[in-house]
Structure 1
Amino acid sequence: MSTLDPTIAERLRRNPDGLLPAIVQQHDTGEVLMLAWMDDEALHRTLTTGRGTYWSRSRQEYWVKGETSGNPQHVKEVRLDCDGDTLLVKVDQEGVACHTGDRTCFDSGLIGA
C-alpha cells in the first residue's frame, strides 16, 4: 500500500509494473543527468526526505542516489508532466550522477553532438 498523498497518487499514470520514469535534471543549469524509475513509495520517500530515491528494476529494491557512491542528489523540486506519466526531478547533484563516473548518463551523442 502506498504512503503517497492520495491527491497526488490519483494523478499518476503508472506503467503495468506500477512505475513512472523520472527524468533527473540539475536544477540550476537544466543539464539532464539521468533517467530512473519511481513507484509511489520511492516518490513518497523522495518528497519526505529531499533525497533522490528510486526503484531498481534489476535489483528489485529501493536505492537512494549517493548512498553508496558518495554523490548524493538533493531534491529541489518534483514536477509531474501534463499526462501524469513522467516525473521531472530537479536536483542539486554532488559529484557525478552516472554509475560510470561521468557527470551525466547522457554524455555520448549519437547525432550532431
Structure 2
Amino acid sequence: MTDSPPRFATRGDHESIETGTAFAPKFDADGLIVAIAVDADDGEVLMVAHMNAEALARTIESGEGWFWSRSRRKLWKKGEESGNVLAIDDIRVDCDQDAILLKARIAGSGVACHQGYRSCFYRSVPTGVAPTPETALAFDQAMRRVERKS
C-alpha cells in the first residue's frame, strides 16, 4: 500500500494560518472539522455537520456536500438517499481555519433536514428565562416542506 500525497497544506504559524493563502484546515483530535451549510441566495443556515479530510476533499472535488457521520462512523453524501443533494457554490474557511462554510443549493425537494424541514434549525429555544429541565422548544412550522417518511 502506498501513501497518498497530502491533500492540504501543513499548518504553519499563527500569522500564516490567518493571513496567508495556504489552505491548512485544522481538524480536531477526532480528525473532524465543523462544516456549516448556508443557502447560497439568502444565507439561511441549512445544516451543521462534520467533515473528515476525505469528506472535505470529496466536497472540493465534486462540488457536492460530503460529510462524516459521528454516530454511524461513516462517510456520507448529502442527498444520496433523499435526492436532496447539497450543490456547493462556494467554500469558505474561517480565520483560523477550524470551520468550513458551504454556500450551497439543495436539489430535490429543497429540504436540508431529514425531518422534512428546509433547515435543520427548525426549533427555537426560549430566551429571557432561566433554562430548566422543563424548558420546551418551539417549532417553526413554516419551515416544514415535506412530511417525514416513517
**Structure-2-length-normalised TM-score:** 0.69
Distance in 1 (CA, whole Å) between partners of 2:99 and 2:58 is 17
Distance in 2 (CA, whole Å) between partners of 1:33 and 1:3 is 30
Distance in 2 (CA, whole Å) between partners of 1:83 and 1:111 is 32
Paired position in structure 1 for 2:142: none
The structural deviation recorded for 1:80 is 0.6
Distance in 1 (CA, whole Å) between partners of 2:58 and 2:96 is 22
Aligned 8 A contact 2:8 2:25 in 1: no
Distance in 1 (CA, whole Å) between partners of 2:44 and 2:5 is 31
1:40 and 2:43 correspond: no
Which string of whole-angstrom CA distances, capped at 9 and with x for unpartnered residues, describes residues 17-63 of structure 1? 01001011011110100001001111110010011000011111111
Task: Please list every run of 5 or more consecutive structure 1 residues that lacks an aligned counterpart in the other structure.
Answer: none
Paired position in structure 1 for 2:120: 105
Tell me which of 19, 25, 47 is aligned to 1:12: 25
User: Counterpart amino acid of 1:4?
Assistant: R
Higher-strand-fraction structure: 1
Paired position in structure 2 for 1:29: 42
The structural deviation recorded for 1:103 is 0.6
Distance in 1 (CA, whole Å) between partners of 2:84 and 2:47 is 13
Identity of aligned residues (%): 44
Going from structure 1 to structure 2, the CA distance change for 1:2 and 1:107 (only over 3 Å counts) comes to farther
Tell me which of 55, 76, 85 is aligned to 2:98: 85
Aligned 8 A contact 2:65 2:88 in 1: yes
Q: Stretches of 4+ moved more than 4 A in 1? A: none
Which structure's CA Rg is the greater one? 2
Give secondary structure in 1 for the equivalent of 2:124: coil
User: Counterpart amino acid of 2:87?
Assistant: H
Paired position in structure 1 for 2:78: 65
Task: Please list every run of 5 or more consecutive structure 2 residues that lacks an aligned counterpart in the other structure.
Answer: 10-21, 128-137, 139-150
Going from structure 1 to structure 2, the CA distance change for 1:109 and 1:61 (only over 3 Å counts) comes to same
Distance in 2 (CA, whole Å) between partners of 1:46 and 1:13 is 16
Greater RCO between the two (CA within 8 Å, min separation 6)?
1
Aligned 8 A contact 1:3 1:40 in 2: no
Going from structure 1 to structure 2, the CA distance change for 1:40 and 1:2 (only over 3 Å counts) comes to farther
**Structure-1-length-normalised TM-score:** 0.90
User: Counterpart amino acid of 1:19?
Assistant: L
1:52 and 2:85 correspond: no
